[in-house]
Copies of this chain bind each other. A is one copy, B any other.
Amino acid sequence: MKKIGVFTSGGDSPGMNACIRAVVRTALHEGLAVAGIRRGYQGFIDGDIYDMDHHSVSNIIQQGGTILRSARCSEFHSPEGRQQAYENLAKFGIDGIVAIGGDGTFTGASIFMQEHPEIKFVGCPGTIDNDLLGTDYTIGYDTAINTAMEAIDKIRDTASAHDRLFFIEVMGRDAGFIAMAAGIATGAEAILIPETHTDIEGLIKKLEWGWENKKNSSIVVVAEGDEAGGAHKIAEMVKARLSRYEIKVSILGHIQRGGRPSCMERVRASRMGVAATQALIAGKSNVMIGIVNNQIVYTPFHQCIKEHQQMDSALVEMVDVLS
């Protein structure tokens, strides 16, 4: 291993910069050169690659977003595109790569390595959704749930002042991890997630009960990918049946992707960046770095792609008890 490239791909998430910084500083500390590749796989195709030194990553650990940016790239889906990518990497002398992203990113890396096995990829789990197998926490999740929670706390203030029922949609197309954590943390009356069946009748009964028992506001947190629909749709269904309540909808949206990373986010992202670089040096490849039970673990890309992190049923059960 002589020169390591690092890039971010897929939806950006807070903590990616901390991870990039750790990759760069670890590579330099180990005597390797290191280069940044901009805009995900698009930068492979375009040769948008630049050498990085110690100062390239100064003062970024606390910043949201990613200094290397991200993009979709259709050209990388073709063998010709990947060939061009390979030639660019060869030109820059890159023989190992830390890929920070989600399962789409790792799929791309897997295919690339089948064609160009002399380039080694190690992945770091960068997504706010926390649904990747092989790690307790993905980079971005802890910050996203804090952002969602703070937003819902604010909405609770105004919901209580007006005796309102709010349906709040958080991110999570395939997974309810953000909804679950932000919902429990804000005392949501119900949390609707893709992993469980959404029982609209049961929800309406629960909300009626809460209202009659003098709750002066109710919050239902909805993961955007809930199988019963998003917050707007579910609110409509409920409104048709609970007409006497004032119902409002709020879609938290893209604020959940940005913001300064939380402390544990930065620590974990740093640790994964260090581990990914050390793994490349140790000859590992085709694996994603994760932290499980506070230990670094390595999960083959194909496994991360196929399976997903399971929702903890203990959390699901808690919601009814606590609200």
Contact B65 A254 (CB under 8 A): no
- Residue among B69, B166, B274 making CB contact with A161, cutoff 8 Å: B69
How far is B209's CA from A54's CA once the two chains are assembled, in angstroms?
14
Give chain B residues whose Cβ lies under 8 Å from the Cβ of A64: 154, 157-158
Contact B314 A271 (CB under 8 A): yes
Interface residues of A in 1-18 (CB under 8 A from B): 8, 11-12, 14, 18
Determine how many copies of this chain the complex contains: 4
Instruction: Tell me, yes or no, whether A250 is within 8 Å of chain B by CB.
Output: yes
- Closest Cβ–Cβ distance, residue A126 to chain B (whole Å): 11
Give chain B residues whose Cβ lies under 8 Å from the Cβ of A82: none
List A residues at the B interface (Cβ < 8 Å): 8, 11-12, 14, 18, 21-22, 25-26, 29, 39, 54-55, 59, 61-66, 69-71, 136, 142, 145-149, 151, 153-163, 166, 181-182, 184-187, 213-214, 216, 248, 250-264, 266-267, 270-271, 274, 292-294, 296, 312, 314-315, 318, 320-322
Supplied contacts A61-B186, A151-B151, A157-B257, 12 more A-B pairs, CB within 8 Å:
A21-B187, A21-B322, A29-B321, A62-B156, A64-B154, A70-B162, A158-B258, A159-B254, A185-B267, A262-B262, A270-B322, A271-B318
